[in-house]
């Protein structure tokens, strides 16, 4: 799972195996480890009780909770992503985007893309 943060937006990109894991009602967990022995964990958790996509940050890291029904529909479709916003206390919002991760159209050294989704424009567009 790839994590991208820019200001008040959070984007998570998932491989085929990770999407299948979520569709099987299992959380997907990843982490970045720091030289100080600390780590930032980030996870996506399916929930039968959730009514909407929710973002939480606490001592366990970043957690995105997705309603299981919404997740199942997305995982078994050609839809690329799930987009949501959560309101913040200061009347601002944070944007959440969960996407299926596609293979790049150009070869990049040191990149393993074997588990990613085939790019829908493969063979049509050259970069």
**Residue 115 maps to a domain:** no
Q: How many domains does the chain have?
A: 1
Range of the domain at 87: 2-100
pTM of this structure? 0.80
Alpha-carbon distance 41 to 61, whole Å?
A: 5
Highest mean pLDDT: which range of 44-48, 98-102, 121-125 = 44-48
Q: What is the pLDDT of residue 127?
A: 46
Q: Is the pLDDT of residue 126 over 60?
A: no
**Nearest in space to 98 (alpha carbons), one of 57, 67, 60, 59:** 67
**CATH classification at residue 64:** 3.30.1360
Strand partners, 31: 41
Q: What are the tens digits of pLDDT across the range 81-98?
A: 999 999 999 889 999 999
């Amino acid at each position: 799972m790839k994590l991208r943060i820019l200001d008040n937006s959070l984007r998570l990109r998932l491989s085929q195996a990770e999407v299948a894991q979520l569709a099987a009602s299992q959380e997907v967990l990843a982490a970045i480890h720091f030289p100080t022995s600390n780590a930032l964990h980030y996870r996506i958790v399916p929930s039968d009780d959730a009514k909407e996509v929710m973002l939480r940050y606490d001592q366990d890291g970043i957690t995105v909770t997705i309603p299981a029904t919404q997740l199942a529909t997305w995982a078994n479709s050609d839809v690329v992503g799930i987009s949501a916003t959560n309101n913040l206390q200061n009347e601002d919002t944070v944007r959440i985007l969960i996407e299926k991760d596609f293979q790049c159209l150009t070869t990049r050294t040191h990149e393993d893309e074997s588990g990613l989704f085939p790019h829908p424009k493969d063979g049509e567009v050259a970069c």
